[in-house]
């Protein structure tokens, strides 16, 4: 399968059209802890994660950080830069050494100009992504901190040796930044979940031993 065919943004676009995009794109490598884009930077390209792990985040004037998403292979960011000239709306940092495919807007515009049906496919996929982001906003606005933590756990956990496991290293501050809460609140919830036998934290991974309760 063609690499870009595995990306939901381009699901349904013809393979030969995606090959044109690949020919106009380039792979860039970033060391761990290096900034890929800064909020406010000029846009102009889409990035697709080929290898590594990254984080998209926002900071305020006081230096407080909110994690928007964790990005693993197959994830992408900067998709709006394909359609407008607005600056970057968030910052992205490489958590580990990472390789990203950079797709320039000029190549995307050439694609849709030469093959207009591709535009309707991409727009449909973008709408689905926006709906998912709306659900995330609804969670932050209407769900309590425990519910947000449970949502993150369920999204990140994968089955391993018969148990749902979060392999990604998450500090309490990382989790707090993801759910929009204080580290102290996250600490209390994790302690209670551990004491109740719902989770176990070992070797920087989290085991979900039982189905999480509906309420904290």
The pTM of the full predicted model, rounded to 2 decimals, is 0.81
Domain boundary among 94, 118, 141: 141
Indicate whether 77 and 130 sit together in one domain: yes
Backbone angles phi, psi at 169, to 5 degrees: -70, 120
Say yes or no: 13 and 118 in one domain: yes
Looking up tokens 């992504």 gives 129
Cα separation of 215 and 172, whole Å? Answer: 20
- Which domain CATH number covers 199? 1.10.10.10
Q: Are residues 30 and 108 in the same domain?
A: yes
Q: By residue range, what is the domain housing residue 99? A: 3-141
**CATH number of the domain within which 62 lies:** 2.60.120.10
The alpha carbon dihedral of 114, 125, 99, 36 has a sign of positive
**Could you read off the pLDDT tens digit of each residue along the chain, which spans 216 residues?**
468 888 899 999 999 999 999 999 999 999 999 999 999 999 899 999 999 999 999 988 887 888 999 999 999 999 988 888 889 999 999 999 999 999 999 999 998 888 888 888 888 988 888 888 788 777 776 689 999 999 999 989 999 888 899 988 889 999 999 998 999 999 999 999 999 999 999 877 899 999 998 878
User: With the C-alpha atoms ordered 115, 120, 124, 130, is the resulting torsion angle positive or negative?
Assistant: positive
Q: What is the mean pLDDT of the chain?
A: 90
Asked whether residue 48 falls in the same domain as residue 132, the answer is yes
pLDDT digits 0-9 by tens, 132-143: 878 877 777 668
Does 96 lie in the same domain as 134? yes
């Amino acid at each position: 399968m063609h690499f870009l065919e595995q990306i939901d943004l381009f699901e349904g676009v013809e393979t030969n059209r995606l090959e044109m995009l690949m020919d106009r794109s380039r792979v860039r490598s970033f060391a761990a802890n290096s900034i890929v884009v800064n909020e406010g930077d000029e846009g102009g390209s889409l990035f697709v994660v080929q290898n590594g792990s990254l984080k998209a985040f926002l900071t305020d004037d006081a230096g407080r950080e909110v994690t928007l998403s964790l990005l693993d292979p197959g994830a992408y960011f900067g998709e709006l830069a394909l359609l407008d000239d607005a600056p970057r709306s968030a910052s992205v940092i490489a958590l580990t050494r990472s390789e990203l495919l950079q797709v320039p807007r000029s190549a995307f515009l050439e694609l849709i100009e030469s093959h207009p049906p591709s535009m309707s496919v991409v727009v449909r996929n973008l709408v689905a992504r926006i709906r998912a982001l709306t659900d995330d906003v609804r969670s932050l606005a209407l769900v309590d901190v425990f519910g947000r933590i449970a949502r993150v756990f369920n999204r990140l956990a994968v089955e391993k040796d018969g148990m749902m496991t979060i392999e990604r290293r998450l500090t309490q501050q990382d989790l707090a930044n993801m759910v929009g809460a204080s580290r102290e609140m996250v600490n209390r919830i994790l302690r209670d979940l551990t004491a109740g036998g719902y989770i176990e934290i070992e070797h920087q991974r989290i085991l979900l031993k039982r189905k999480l309760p509906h309420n904290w």
